[in-house]
Amino acid sequence: MILKSTTVPDLINEITTALEQSNLSYGHGMETALDEAAYLVSFTLRLPPDFDPYEAGLSVTDRQREEIAGLLQQRIEERKPLVYLLGETWLAGYKFIVNEHVLVPRSPIASLIQERFFPWWMGAGEANAEPSAILDLCSGSGCLGILAALEFPEAQVLLTDIDPEALQLAEQNIQAHQLQNRVSTVLSDVWAQIPVRQYDIILANPPYVPQREQRELPTEYQHEPAHALYSGSDGLDVTKKILASISRHLTDDGLLVLEVGESAYALEQYFADTQFMWLALENGGEGVCVLTAQECKQFAT
């Protein structure tokens, strides 16, 4: 593939056109062809993701244009999410290392973390007390737990995942954000190997896509780890395991922040006596709810 544009705005437009003509799927951190084109240029030119393409002095060298052309060709031919090709992405204003051992960070829980879980987190015993212990279940890249650690600088955060390679990547992200003194990892199949203690806030973004939908998803999703996407016939196998023991792991004032995406209706049907409060989040997203420690007691088995 050959790109001809010599200015940043023209190059972004040229890349956007090539992407739009290639019948690709988006939604892995970027929603449109234009978003991907701008991010590809910002990555190669080492610019912040919110750069102004019309800023004076921005130019593209022949070498940079060739690098972009090679990545663009890969994106189109392999239909691999762009951030896997680049090895990094951004969520809630922070950069994270990514690879194909983890889902592309895109959880709407990120915006709730930035809002400091308002108005649900009221503090343990006193107004405005910050959470001291946070657990990130099915953590993947560790992005949510790390965002929580950055938002609550006094909290100890534990990241857990069933995949050792995902945890290895999470540890790289912990180091990149210099959080080794407050954020740690444990290899665990849901609760199996998690140390016995209670947490003020538990973040859970488990796999929640029904297995039957695997063949229906665009090729881009096939590059993501299947065990992090699919969870039984109704998408709720892992979620049910989480809820069955959740109350043992929450403080009396604790919260569960749970994401189940489009499986929200299936969760309501399975727990017909539970009223789930699905959140309307500032940056969009669906299937996220918050449950108090008292509400979680109903799931105990």
Reported confidence tier of residue 127, pLDDT bands at 50, 70, 90: low
What the chain holds in terms of domains, given with CATH numbers, is: 8-86 (1.10.8), 103-299 (3.40.50.150)
∠ CA 26-99-32, rounded to 5°:
15
Compute the average pLDDT of residues 104-120: 93
Which tens digit of pLDDT belongs to each residue from 244-284?
999 999 999 999 999 999 999 999 999 999 989 899 887 77
**What CA–CA distance (Å, rounded) separates 293 from 200?**
9
Q: Which of 220, 204, 209 is nearest to 262 (CA)?
A: 209
**What CA–CA distance (Å, rounded) separates 212 from 215?**
7
Count of C-beta atoms within a 10 Å radius of residue 77:
10
Strand partners, 96: 89
Count of C-beta atoms within a 10 Å radius of residue 244:
14
Residue 266: per-residue pLDDT: 95
Angle, to 10 degrees, between the axis of helix 62-78 and the axis of helix 33-44? Answer: 140
Which tens digit of pLDDT belongs to each residue from 56-95?
678 899 999 999 999 999 999 999 999 999 999 999 999 9
pLDDT at 300 over 90: no
Compute the average pLDDT of residues 99-104: 96
Which tens digit of pLDDT belongs to each residue from 13-49?
999 999 999 999 998 989 999 999 999 999 999 998 8
Residue 1: per-residue pLDDT: 82
φ/ψ bin of 191: left (φ > 0), alpha (ψ from -120 to 50), beta (otherwise): alpha
DSSP 46: T
Residue 53: per-residue pLDDT: 86
Global pTM reads: 0.93
Reported confidence tier of residue 187, pLDDT bands at 50, 70, 90: very high
